[in-house]
Structure 1
Amino acid sequence: MLDKRKINLLLFFFLFALVGVGYMILNPFINHPKFYQDSLMIVNSSRDISIGAGSYKTTSFLLAPITDSLDLIGANIYSYGQRYDLGFFFTNGVYMILFLIPMMYIWMKKMPKLNVINVFCFLVMFGLYSAFYGVPNKDFIPFVFSFISLLFYFKGFKKTSILLLVVLMSYYAALGRFYYALFAVCLILHLTIKRKSVLFILYGIGIALCYVMFNTSVFQYIYLARPSNNIDITNTWIDYPLNDHVFSGFILNRVLELVRLFFPVELLIKSVNYIPFVVFQLVTTVVTFKVLRNKKDYNPLEVVSALVVLTFTISQAIFEPDFGSYFRHKISIFPFIYILIRSHEYNFKFLRKKSPEKKKAKKGIRIFRKRIVW
């Protein structure tokens, strides 16, 4: 049964979705002319789901039912983005609906507490991000995996839901998007190991293994993730300050990139157009570390969501060549980002949220003082 509050929040969701529709329509006329190049490559790639097939072939295979259906009704899907006709916008609308329906379900299951910061974040998530989720894209598949994981969590299968997420992401990594394997491993480590000292030791062992394998073919996959031809179609390329082909430079560059992804303030120098994405990322970063710092003050799902954001960003820092790719790939974990920020009370003082016991104690002191005065 929907009460007045739930109806109002549902109307807010549709309002955010409507903003997304508007931006999806405007985007072809205001963005980079090669913005839809990735989507065109996906729909025209040969279809393959064998191990190591690659991200484009795998995505083309998994999205085949959607692609074939659009082709059947005459949406000119195989010339997607070449001209902005009715078929182009219809295709975008289909992908928007396929994204918004799962998000609406999560919205209804875990309704937000609206405040100024949350409203801004939702406008970015559902509005500006429509340029990324409202097109044929590689991140739709892991987004579905994240949604399925939360479905199991909502049904009470909490441990199973996390295990399912790890298994699905690992399988997807084996098909060609290798950094999801790193994401899955890091997530398992952070979920199962409670002592920070043990985590640091394990990360140290990981760095030692990197040193051993540094000159092997394994590392070529990391360098292949930074194709130099991407420089021509992105304005947010991440330049490394150190020689990336020396082990010490490689490690330090990745540590610096992790910090830069969490706090992408340098984008403000490039263009004011990045302000919404930078603010959204900063809010996500602050809330993530705040939850991880005060785990006992938050419910288990919020802690899991914070760990998903942390470990996903770690994996992106190893592989991603530019800020734009990282921002776009975050669609994969949008269900968890929503859970993380949906009802957060923003008190940025010392990045701490006071426990209920401390609040009660402080309230008691205030009442005691009032009694003395009167």
Structure 2
Amino acid sequence: MNLIINNSKLRKADSMLVFAIGILVCVLIAFFKESIFPEKYFNDTVTIQRLIEHPYKDMGDSAFTNTAKFFRIFHIDKYFVAPVLAIISYFFVIYFSFKKYSIEAVSLSNFLLIVSYSAMAMVYMSTYSKDLVLFLFVIVPFVFFEKKYILIWTLFTIFYAAFFRNYWFVTILVFWGLKIFIIKKPKFLILTIPLFYFLISFVYNYIFGVSLSMIRYITNVDRDADSAQTAINNYIEGNNFLLEAVNFIITLVFLIIPIPLLLLAKPFYVILTLLIVVFFYNFIKLYVKEYKNEKFSNIFSFVISFILVQSLFEPDYGSFVRHLAPLYPIIFVCIAKNTKFLKIEEY
């Protein structure tokens, strides 16, 4: 693969050098992130590490417990192993994805964007985290099997849902519904999204007897003043399923265009806002252009099902950014495919 600067292709050796520098930046972030970012970014890591070291003394909830068991079973019990595993798997997935979709060149601006996303991904994934497990059990199989063996990916995802995050059962159902009936009909998709929210809100309220909004409220209720700034709350007061569904629709819009995060006017939150907007801009742009293309239907169905379900459960924007991180290599395909080069000259 080559790097393109001002519509001129760098020599292979020069491109490889620039790519190596980008990877090195991510490696440094992976191993020194605790010295760069606040402790609150690694609260889950501390809990999982404690459960790895003392599995019978300090039991967390099932997601934390099973994540710790995963790392212990596969002998990922030395802290430096998790960053190494994350780095190797992450960049191999990027390489494999670009090769599979015949991406042979990337512009300098897109390369810098990819490095920025990847550095952020290393903060969340290169440690004892549920996000690394998600990447290994869901994203890696998706990249390898989505073109011919999507049912194998489904089995991996069912396993992940059963032992780590149960709401992925909903994601699987939405994925297959989109893939079979909706994904090639964008106008129908827009009409179906509100229906999805009304339906799932009704089911949880009147069949399961649980308000989805209450799940988010319970997660957010004990936050301190600092973390409460990025919490996702209901925008319309009310406790019936119709208003709850309307709140979910608004939440979806503000996840894609995170105006509440931007209004906090803090530099880091502005950066996160830009990363989120660029993420979805590139995805939506490729979807509008290629929604009839069978080659991309699984990617489209997966990302849309993911965001629809996350909009139901995400407690805050920080969690949302963290949960997006494993999907970055998929979006890199969208970024690269959205780039059209004029006649390329050799540097």
Query: Into which bin does the TM-score normalised by the smaller protein fall?
Result: 0.7 to 0.9
* One of 67, 84, 97 as aligned partner of 2:87: 97
Structure 1 contact 288–310 (Cα < 8 Å) conserved:
no
Are 2:198 and 1:207 aligned? yes
Query: How far apart, in 1, do the equivalents of 2:241 and 2:186 lie?
Result: 25
* One of 322, 342, 354 as aligned partner of 2:336: 342
- Aligned to 2:106, the other structure's residue is in SS state coil
- Aligned to 1:266, the other structure's residue is in SS state helix
Q: Deviations 1:82-119 (Å, cap 9, x if unpaired)? A: xxxxxxxx356334434434335326625463235422
Query: How far apart, in 2, do the equivalents of 1:163 and 1:273 lie?
Result: 40
- Find the counterpart in structure 1 of residue 240 from structure 2: 246
- Aligned to 1:177, the other structure's residue is in SS state coil
- Find the counterpart in structure 2 of residue 81 from structure 1: none
Q: Deviations 1:196-244 (Å, cap 9, x if unpaired)? A: 6766469637734632541554536763355125633734211222236
Cα shift at 1:32: 2.6
Q: Deviations 1:185-205 (Å, cap 9, x if unpaired)? A: 111111111456766469637
- Find the counterpart in structure 1 of residue 125 from structure 2: 133
- Find the counterpart in structure 2 of residue 280 from structure 1: 275
- Aligned to 1:193, the other structure's residue is in SS state helix
Instruction: Specify the code of the residue in structure 2 equivalent to 1:311.
Output: S
- Find the counterpart in structure 2 of residue 268 from structure 1: 262
- Find the counterpart in structure 1 of residue 69 from structure 2: 61
Cα shift at 1:281: 1.7
Instruction: Specify the code of the residue in structure 1 equivalent to 2:40.
Output: K
Structure 1 contact 173–181 (Cα < 8 Å) conserved:
yes
Cα shift at 1:37: 1.1
Are 2:37 and 1:31 aligned? yes
TM-score normalized by the length of structure 2: 0.77
Q: Which moved more, 1:317-326 or 1:234-243?
A: 234-243
Are 2:308 and 1:314 aligned? yes
Structure 1 contact 112–343 (Cα < 8 Å) conserved:
no
Q: 1:242 to 1:41 in 2, by over 3 A?
A: same
- Find the counterpart in structure 2 of residue 13 from structure 1: 19
- Aligned to 1:168, the other structure's residue is in SS state helix
- Find the counterpart in structure 1 of residue 214 from structure 2: 223
Cα shift at 1:331: 2.5
TM-score normalized by the length of structure 1: 0.72
Query: Where does structure 2 lack aligned partners over 5 or more consecutive residues?
Result: 3-8, 342-347
Are 2:184 and 1:190 aligned? no
Query: How far apart, in 1, do the equivalents of 2:212 and 2:71 lie?
Result: 24
Query: How far apart, in 2, do the equivalents of 1:205 and 1:263 lie?
Result: 20
Instruction: Specify the code of the residue in structure 2 equivalent to 1:163.
Output: L
Query: How far apart, in 1, do the equivalents of 2:308 and 2:193 lie?
Result: 15
Query: Where does structure 1 lack aligned partners over 5 or more consecutive residues?
Result: 71-76, 78-89, 348-374
Greater RCO between the two (CA within 8 Å, min separation 6)? 2
Query: How far apart, in 2, do the equivalents of 1:212 and 1:68 lie?
Result: 40
Structure 2 contact 121–326 (Cα < 8 Å) conserved:
no
- Aligned to 1:242, the other structure's residue is in SS state coil
Instruction: Specify the code of the residue in structure 2 equivalent to 1:204.
Output: L
Query: How far apart, in 1, do the equivalents of 2:208 and 2:12 lie?
Result: 54
- Aligned to 1:307, the other structure's residue is in SS state helix
Are 2:163 and 1:175 aligned? yes
Are 2:145 and 1:152 aligned? yes
Structure with max Cα Rg: 1
Q: Which moved more, 1:7-16 or 1:201-210?
A: 201-210
The number of residues matched between the two structures is 319
Q: Which moved more, 1:313-322 or 1:186-195?
A: 186-195
Structure 2 contact 67–164 (Cα < 8 Å) conserved:
no
